[in-house]
Amino acid sequence: MMYFKADSILTQKFNKSGIKNNEKIAVLSSNSEEYVKLLIHIFNLNAIAVPLNPMFPVSKIHQVLNDINCKMVIVDEKSNYKDVCGIKSVPLDFFIDGLKQISLKNLIETFNVNKLHENFNKYLSIIFTSGSEGRPKAVLHTVACHYFSASGSNDNIQFKKDDCWLILLPLNHVSGFSTIFKALISKADIAVKPPDLSLFEIIKKYKATHLSLIPSQLSELINSPAGVKVLKKMKAILIGGAPASPRLIEESSGLKLPIYKSYGSTEMASQITCTLKDDTLRHLKTSGKLLKYREIKTDVNGEILVKGKTLFKGYIKKDASGKEILNMPFDEEGWFKTSDKGYIDNEGYLHVYGRKDFMFFYKGENIFPEEIENHLKELSGIEDAIVVSVCKDMEGQVPVAFIKSKDNYQIDFESIRKSLQKNIESFKIPVLYLKWPEDEKITLHKPDRKKFKKIAEQLITDLKLSG
């Protein structure tokens, strides 16, 4: 299986490194154009790409590579990961000469899309879930998963030759990874943001027409006149990765920005639903309609179930004897439970309440932290908010909020409480407001709620002990 004729220097480099067909090849690197080229060449080698989160500590990297029996990892110069217990590391610099021989644009243009059709059942990638709520899961995708994910997305958000999609999200995240396939099947360009340029500078430099953003990035751009100016020239701005507050959607819609709201998962190879072009503000406050090649429904408990041509093949793991197995968590009809709760309205638009895993109870009532967080983010001076639950009494758990202010804005917690009383039920109002931990940075990855919960529980314990 060859999707294009590989450069001879790069081919020699891969041969010398010992990479073999059908082998799992992990990549530990921050985003770069060379990283994208490397991934495309791994596809070409009939190997399985395993992009790793560079924020993982060495112990977790070793853990997840052992879980999938991966024997080789390519690392960039910034990584401190070395050969450990039979897992060979190869410097990304070893391939640089070969990677620079061909432009990314040329790689995309010469890619043989017809070969994808011939190899739909071939395993192509293993992408790990964030692991913020426990051990990361190794999600196995085939060529077909990524092909149909990209095709359905491109059918909704037109992405064609002469367009350019700017990759801002991590390539180890399914949203960043999936952009490569959107470009390969449409012959459009992609660009990767280098660390030394601001968002609006990179958009201008590469003449980007499309980009995917998390809400905090969009908020940063629309608070700048220069940012708004470049966003107005975009063809599509896809928002995902975290819930966007109604205020952010209203501001973006008021500026007439071409925004799209999306809901997806690693297990479905990225997007599941998305809003449509020229949707109204009311529609933009939902998670959109089902994209082509996917199926969706909710069960009697309101949990969202999905399946379709983009659905992953299963989780790779080891059994008690150390043997590699494929865990396929699907029901008898092939549905996968997302652990998200929501409903589909009579127009077919999905509304997501939040994660079933995060939901907690107080006095018999369901509380979704995401709902409270969205209301907190609506308030002036608040950049981000995380709500966790702590045990109060026999009647259940109560919410505690962590607040991150914008530019050291002085937040009046009593004013926050009064504002929330106007919008949500009394039992959902946090009983305690805490400042955002100084060592916890806002990143493109999901926050570690367990860490926030542990901090809240310790502070409350200390308060009780002090009287």
The secondary structure of 1-28 as a DSSP string is --SS---HHHHHHHHHHT--TT-EEEEE
The pLDDT tens digits of the residues spanning 77-88 come to 777 676 666 788
**CATH topology for 8-352?**
Rossmann fold (3.40.50)
At residue 393, the pLDDT reads 63
Q: What angle do CA 399, 405, 408 make, to 5 degrees?
A: 145
Say which residue the tokens 């021989």 belong to. 101
What residues in the chain have per-residue pLDDT under 70? Answer: 1, 80, 82-85, 131-134, 363, 393-395, 408, 440-446, 462-467
CATH of span 358-465: 3.30.300.30
At residue 467, the pLDDT reads 46
**Rounded-to-integer distance, Cα 202 and Cα 194, Å:** 8
Task: Considering the chain, tell me which residue range(s) the CATH 3.30.300.30 domain(s) occupy.
Answer: 358-465
Indicate the Cα dihedral angle 196, 200, 202, 205, nearest 10°: -130
Neighbours of 405 (CB within 10 A): 14
Phi-psi group of 396: left, alpha or beta (phi > 0 → left; psi -120 to 50 → alpha; rest → beta)? left
At residue 15, the pLDDT reads 80
Task: Considering the chain, tell me which residue range(s) the CATH 3.40.50.12780 domain(s) occupy.
Answer: 8-352
**Rounded-to-integer distance, Cα 385 and Cα 80, Å:** 32
**Rounded-to-integer distance, Cα 386 and Cα 401, Å:** 6
At residue 465, the pLDDT reads 46
